[in-house]
C-alpha cells in the first residue's frame, strides 16, 4: 500500500472528536437547568443551560476561543470556543435595564480569549440593590451539535473548574 492509499483509506472512516469541556465562568453555587429562575433559560429556548449563583462578580472565559459579540449593556456576551462550543454568558435577569451601570467589560467582539481570562466584572451589590437577580447563566447555543450535555458539578464551584462535558455527535 502506497502513501496516498493510506490517506484514502482514512478518508472514509468516521472521526470521533474528544469531549468538549466548559469550565465555570465564576465561583459560586451551581444551578441545574430546572433550577434557573428565568423561563427563557430554564425552558431550553436558548439551548441547553445551567447557572451559577455567584460569590463575586469576576466573570471569566469558560473556554478558549473568540468573543462573538458583547451586548451594549455589557451584561451578556458570546464566546465561540475552539472546542466547537458556542455559548452565551448572561449576568442576571433584566440587567440590561441598568444600561451598563455596574458592569466593566474587558473584551470586545472578535477578540481571541483564553480559558480563565477575565471577560467582565459585575457589581453584584448594585445588581441586587436594583432588585434584580445576579445569577450567571451559561447557555450552549449549538447544543444540538452534541449529545446530552453532562453537568459535572453540583453545589459549590470555583471559577475555572470543569463544569460541563459535551460529547460531539458522530461526524
In the annotation, is 75 catalytic?
Answer: no
- Measure the CA–CA gap between 167 and 145, rounded to whole angstroms: 9
- Measure the CA–CA gap between 16 and 36, rounded to whole angstroms: 32
- Measure the CA–CA gap between 49 and 137, rounded to whole angstroms: 7
> Among the options 75, 90, 99, 168, which is catalytic?
90
- β-sheet with 20-23: strand ranges across: 20-23, 162-166, 150-151
- Measure the CA–CA gap between 19 and 164, rounded to whole angstroms: 10
Task: Please check whether residue 57 is in contact with residue 140, taking contact to mean a CB–CB distance below 8 angstroms.
Answer: no
Catalytic residues: 90
Amino acid at each position: 500500500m502506497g502513501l496516498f492509499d493510506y490517506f484514502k483509506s482514512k478518508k472514509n472512516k468516521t472521526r470521533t472528536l474528544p469531549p468538549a469541556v466548559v469550565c465555570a465562568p465564576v465561583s459560586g453555587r451551581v444551578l441545574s437547568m430546572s433550577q434557573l429562575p428565568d423561563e427563557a433559560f430554564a425552558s431550553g429556548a436558548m439551548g441547553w443551560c445551567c447557572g451559577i449563583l455567584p460569590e463575586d462578580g469576576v466573570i471569566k472565559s469558560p473556554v478558549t476561543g473568540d468573543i462573538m459579540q458583547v451586548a451594549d449593556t455589557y451584561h451578556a456576551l458570546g464566546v465561540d470556543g475552539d472546542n466547537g462550543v458556542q455559548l452565551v454568558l448572561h449576568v442576571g435577569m433584566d440587567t440590561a435595564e441598568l444600561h451598563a451601570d455596574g458592569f466593566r467589560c474587558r473584551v470586545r467582539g472578535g477578540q481571541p480569549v483564553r480559558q480563565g481570562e477575565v471577560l467582565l466584572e459585575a457589581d453584584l451589590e448594585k445588581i441586587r440593590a436594583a432588585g434584580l437577580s445576579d445569577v450567571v447563566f451559561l447557555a450552549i447555543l449549538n447544543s444540538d451539535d452534541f449529545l446530552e450535555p453532562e453537568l459535572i458539578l453540583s453545589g459549590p464551584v470555583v471559577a475555572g473548574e470543569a463544569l460541563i462535558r459535551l460529547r460531539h455527535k458522530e461526524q
